[in-house]
Structure 1
């Protein structure tokens, strides 16, 4: 009787270790690499800084800003840029991409 319970416990423990804990560590490593990759890009100067973007958008006239505000440029462009950056980073992960 004790051998059957020990065998069942061993099967359950094996399932937990293989499927739950291993996946948790794999996804944690992928998340950590992704977030650190963005920080490395920012520190290397590949991504534009806030002052460079301010200078670029400072040259846009008020008539163009009116239509950009009408089309929700301030909400849509950061949304698209983050979506494209996330897609780019996820495609570089060997398991997912």
Structure 2
């Protein structure tokens, strides 16, 4: 009976050490790598885009539909989604 319990404990301990701990260390390291590269990628993006100036040149008839369809919020969501997709694809195990 004691041998069965020791064997079950060894199997459980082996599972934890081989899979759970290794995955935790791997994903913890990947988290810090991604967190370190986001400011580097953000610094490489262009900073002098005058989006407000582009929107201010639109006539009032176009502004009505831009506001109705919430285009400005949609553009912000699209850029953040594209940046998130880019970052996720750079992770070796996921992308």
Cα distance in structure 2, aligned partners of 1:68 and 1:48: 25
What aligned pairs does 1:16-35 form with structure 2 within 5 A after superposition?
16-35=16-35
SS of the equivalent of 2:51 reads helix
* Cα distance in 2 between the residues matched to 1:48 and 1:26: 32
Q: TM-score, normalised by structure 1?
A: 0.72
Cα shift at 1:66: 3.5
In 1: Cα distance, 2:72 partner to 2:37 partner? 25
May I ask how many residue pairs the two structures share in their alignment? Answer: 92
**Alpha carbons of 1:40 and 1:61: their partners in 2 closer, same or farther (altered >3 Å)?**
same
Choose from 63, 67, 71 the match for 2:69.
Answer: 71
Alignment of 1:1-97 (within 5 A): 1-42=1-42, 45-49=43-47, 52-53=48-49, 55-59=50-54, 60-61=56-57, 63=60, 64-97=62-95
Runs of 4+ in structure 1 deviating by more than 3 angstroms, as ranges, are none
**Alpha carbons of structure 1 residues 33 and 22: separation in structure 2 relative to 1, 3 Å:** same
The Cα RMSD (Å) is: 2.2
1:13 deviates by: 0.9
- Unpaired runs of 5+ residues, structure 1, are none
| Higher relative contact order, structure no. (Cα contacts within 8 Å, ≥ 6 residues apart) | 2
- Gap runs ≥5 in structure 2: none
